[in-house]
Amino acid sequence: MKKSVVAIVGRPNVGKSTIFNRLVGERISIVEDIPGVTRDRIYSEAEWLHSTFNVIDTGGIDISDEPLIVQVREQAQIAIEEADVIIFLVNGREGITAADEEVAKILYKSNKPVVLGVNKIDNFEMQDLLYEFYALGFGQPFPISGTHGLGLGDLLDEVIKHFPDREEVEEDDDRINFSLIGRPNVGKSSLVNALLGEERVIVSNIAGTTKDAIDTGFSKDGRDFKIIDTAGMRKRGKVYESTEKYSVLRALKAIERSDVVLVVIDADTGILEQDKRIAGYAHEAGKGIVIVVNKWDAVDKEQDTMKKFEDDIRQQFQFLSYAPIVFLSALTTKRIHTLLPMVVEVSENHAKRVKTNVLNEVIEDALAMNPTPSIKGQKLKILYTTQVATKPPTFVVFVNDPELMHFTYERFLENRIREAFGFVGTPIKIYARQRK
């Protein structure tokens, strides 16, 4: 189910990133552990009561070459386009400024719900500062303190009241949702066109698609697909659309709604740092992944060119060792027909559930082949393994002591499970739990 999105807007220094960090808390990111893949986050999951939602810090989308007023306008625009509910943040200690009024003007024109947060109200004596903000016209201002974590509960209660009712949007379970992500100009739009232009593809309109998301439904050979709208696939020349942060934000939103993500690489330019970062997001999200090497027509081929390129990918995307690689050309449509069958296979693996008894036989064989390690005289004992979830397949191994499960042994078990059940294209997760 699609999660609601909350965006924080306001002029610089009112405390947007402080509040963002408060809301998302300390979340461990796998991507940040991958060498060469770093990011400062502007988009993350948060929780309040029984709601899980995503938060955007629009202030993190750096448009700093532009005058302040253009910056705040563009950021407000991003909030309107990307969010279901907007937190408009002002500084209680400074009163209403011209830049605040500029933001307000843009937010009025949208019909998105706006909740006004008055930040830097660090103690109760400062409550009187609140009243002037009624003049902004967004109803009751909520006093908060980002540094002290005060007032956030009341603010969030108000925010979640405005979440749209997601129940109405029924999702078709048999449909495979996928997205194409990659740097600008790797050929994502061309690939979509090539896919939709294939023989026997029937394009359909999808009910419930909102005006700001351009999803495309189609069917081929009796299977239904949906291509999720992605960054860079609609370009209308807004200043922020060319910023990297914004395209990352769009990619993250698209990844979240996908079962399978096609990580598109340009064979002509080779692999760049940004490709790795983008691939890291898909991996972290636990989606099925296919690596697509596009523009293969533009490469001068010698005998082992493909093999070399593949080795290079395996070397540079070590965290995606499970992802299949497809070489093709959107331009000439050569090998385009191999892509959808691969998407189907990966999606099936991503949703695969294995039988507990067969799983335990596989683990027993693995144990016989490579006995469990001992740490400081304590031997790891594996009692029982079960698959607890799909999308991605997730396994819990019950052991005598989880501390004894070394990651190299976990990796070994993962490889055995992959060999036995063929989880091509999907990450799998393994957790060790204590069995008393």
Determine, following the binding rule CB under 6 A, whether residue 75 of this chain makes contact with ligand GDP.
Answer: no
DSSP annotation of 2: P
Look up tokens 């069917």; give the residue. Answer: 219
Look up tokens 């189910």; give the residue. Answer: 1
Residue 290: strand pairing partners: 262
Window contacting ligand GDP (CB under 6 A); options: 14-22, 63-71, 165-173, 307-315: 14-22
239 is in an annotated binding site: no
Window contacting ligand GDP (CB under 6 A); options: 187-195, 253-261, 275-283, 411-419: 187-195
As a whole number of angstroms, the distance between CA 47 and CA 156 comes to 10
Determine, following the binding rule CB under 6 A, whether residue 295 of this chain makes contact with ligand GDP.
Answer: yes
* Residue 296 Cβ vs ligand GDP, minimum distance, rounded to whole Å: 7
As given in the structure block, the two tokens for residue 6 are: 């909350």
In the set 34, 53, 58, 59, which binds ligand GDP (CB under 6 A)? 59
Residues 214-250, buried b or exposed e (16+ Cβ, 10 A)? ebbbbebeeebbbbbbbbbbeeeeeebbebebbbbbb
Determine, following the binding rule CB under 6 A, whether residue 4 of this chain makes contact with ligand GDP.
Answer: no
Rg of the Cα trace of the chain? 24
In the set 110, 190, 209, 390, which binds ligand GDP (CB under 6 A)? 190
Comparison of 190 and 360: residue with beta carbon closer to ligand GDP: 190
> What angle is formed at CA 394 by the lines to CA 273 and CA 413, rounded to 5 degrees?
85
393 is in an annotated binding site: no
Determine, following the binding rule CB under 6 A, whether residue 214 of this chain makes contact with ligand GDP.
Answer: no
286 is in an annotated binding site: no
The continuous run of DSSP H or E covering 118 comes out as: strand 114-119
Contact 56, 6 (CB under 8 A): yes
305 is in an annotated binding site: no
Comparison of 4 and 294: residue with beta carbon closer to ligand GDP: 294
If you count DSSP H runs as helices and E runs as strands, how many of each does the chain have, helices first? 11, 18
182 is in an annotated binding site: yes
Strands 51-57 and 4-9: parallel
As a whole number of angstroms, the distance between CA 281 and CA 32 comes to 10
17 is in an annotated binding site: yes
Window contacting ligand GDP (CB under 6 A); options: 7-15, 27-35, 360-368, 379-387: 7-15
As given in the structure block, the two tokens for residue 63 are: 């448009």
> Does residue 373 have a cis peptide bond before it, meaning omega lies within 30 degrees of 0?
no
Determine, following the binding rule CB under 6 A, whether residue 15 of this chain makes contact with ligand GDP.
Answer: yes
As given in the structure block, the two tokens for residue 166 are: 């997601």
Comparison of 233 and 351: residue with beta carbon closer to ligand GDP: 233
Window contacting ligand GDP (CB under 6 A); options: 279-287, 289-297, 351-359, 404-412: 289-297
Per-position x/- string for 122-151, each x denoting binding to ligand GDP as judged by CB under 6 A, each - no binding: x----------------------xxx----
Q: Describe the strand order of the beta sheet including 429-434 as a list of residue ranges.
A: 382-389, 394-399, 429-434
Binding site for ligand GDP (CB under 6 A): 10, 12-18, 59, 119-120, 122, 145-147, 182, 184-190, 232-233, 294-295, 297-298, 329-331
Residue stretches of the annotated binding site: 10-17, 57-61, 119-122, 182-189, 229-233, 294-297
Residue stretches of the annotated binding site for GTP: 10-17, 57-61, 119-122, 182-189, 229-233, 294-297
